[in-house]
């Protein structure tokens, strides 16, 4: 019985050569069509974004330059002019009008110009654009109070007082104007509860003094005189 010839053992070098031969014979792998589409879309999106950046760079530079110029006017103390320039800025760049930043700036410039109606309108719009931002409700409340809308002012000031802590919110401003409105309606006890919360604040001393003087004149002195008369 004849034996079949045995194949020679495959050495590592022979195995490598065989693998290279098989790889050369195999057809190149085909990429799935969805991968090719995804790559194409990605390239297109990157191109579009780069074009947007290029076309808007000049606008962004103009916007920043205008805002810097308006801020310089404000810092010089020309508050009414700064307010008017910021309003015109909103006309030139309508996209700014719904934003918190633009409305807050108009509110600030208007308040410094004693234009409390405009300040109230724009601070309120700033609150609507950013309802969780601290201090905005207090500023809106002050402007609403000084423009005569005391009902809306109370809502804004109460919100500031109950939703923010002293480290972030403007609770001093809220307490002062809530106290002022309580005092005006002769709720003296409630008024001075608010005033006592800021009694040790140097920046509010001058504004608290007229209320304490009125308390002394209208309430304390008559009570003291009456007590002497009946003793």
Answer whether 179's CB lies under 8 Å from 192's CB.
yes
Given this model, what pLDDT does residue 35 score?
A: 54
51: pLDDT strictly greater than 50: no
Given this model, what pLDDT does residue 225 score?
A: 75
Mean pLDDT over the full length of the chain: 83
Q: How many CB atoms lie within 10 A of CB 51?
A: 10
Using a 10 angstrom Cβ sphere, with 0-12 exposed, 13-18 middle and 19 or more buried, the burial of residue 7 is exposed
Q: How many CB atoms lie within 10 A of CB 101?
A: 12
Between the CA of residue 207 and those of 169, 184, 198, 212, what are the distances in Å?
A: 20, 15, 11, 10
- For the chain, how far is it from start to end, CA to CA, in angstroms? 148
Given this model, what pLDDT does residue 58 score?
A: 74
Q: How many CB atoms lie within 10 A of CB 53?
A: 10
Contacts of 182 (CB under 8 A, 6+ apart): 188, 190, 191, 194
26: pLDDT strictly greater than 70: no
CATH 3.30.460.10 fits 49-224, yes or no: no
pTM value? 0.72
Q: In the chain, where are the structural domains located? A: 49-224
Mean pLDDT, to the nearest integer, of 115-129?
98
* Tokens 């974004």, residue located: 49
């Amino acid at each position: 019985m004849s034996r079949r010839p045995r194949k020679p053992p495959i050495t590592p070098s022979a195995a490598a050569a065989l693998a290279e031969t098989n790889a050369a014979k195999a057809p190149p792998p085909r990429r799935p069509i969805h991968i090719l589409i995804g790559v194409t879309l990605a390239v297109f999106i990157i191109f579009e974004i780069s074009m947007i950046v290029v076309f808007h760079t000049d606008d962004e530079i103009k916007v920043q330059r205008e805002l810097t110029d308006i801020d310089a006017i404000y810092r010089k103390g020309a508050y009414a002019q700064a307010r008017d320039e910021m309003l015109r800025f909103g006309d030139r760049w309508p996209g700014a009008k719904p934003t918190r930043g633009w409305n807050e700036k108009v509110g600030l410039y208007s308040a410094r110009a004693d234009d409390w109606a405009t300040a109230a309108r724009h601070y309120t719009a700033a609150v609507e654009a950013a309802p969780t931002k601290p201090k905005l409700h207090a500023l809106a409340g002050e402007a609403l109070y000084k423009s005569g809308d005391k009902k809306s002012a109370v809502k804004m000031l109460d919100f500031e007082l109950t939703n923010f802590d002293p480290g972030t919110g403007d609770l001093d401003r809220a307490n002062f104007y809530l106290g002022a409105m309580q005092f005006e309606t002769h709720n003296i006890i409630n008024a001075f509860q608010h005033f006592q919360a800021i009694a040790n604040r140097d920046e509010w001393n001058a504004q608290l003094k007229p209320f304490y003087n009125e308390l002394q004149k209208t309430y304390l002195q008559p009570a003291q005189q009456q007590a002497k008369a009946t003793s």
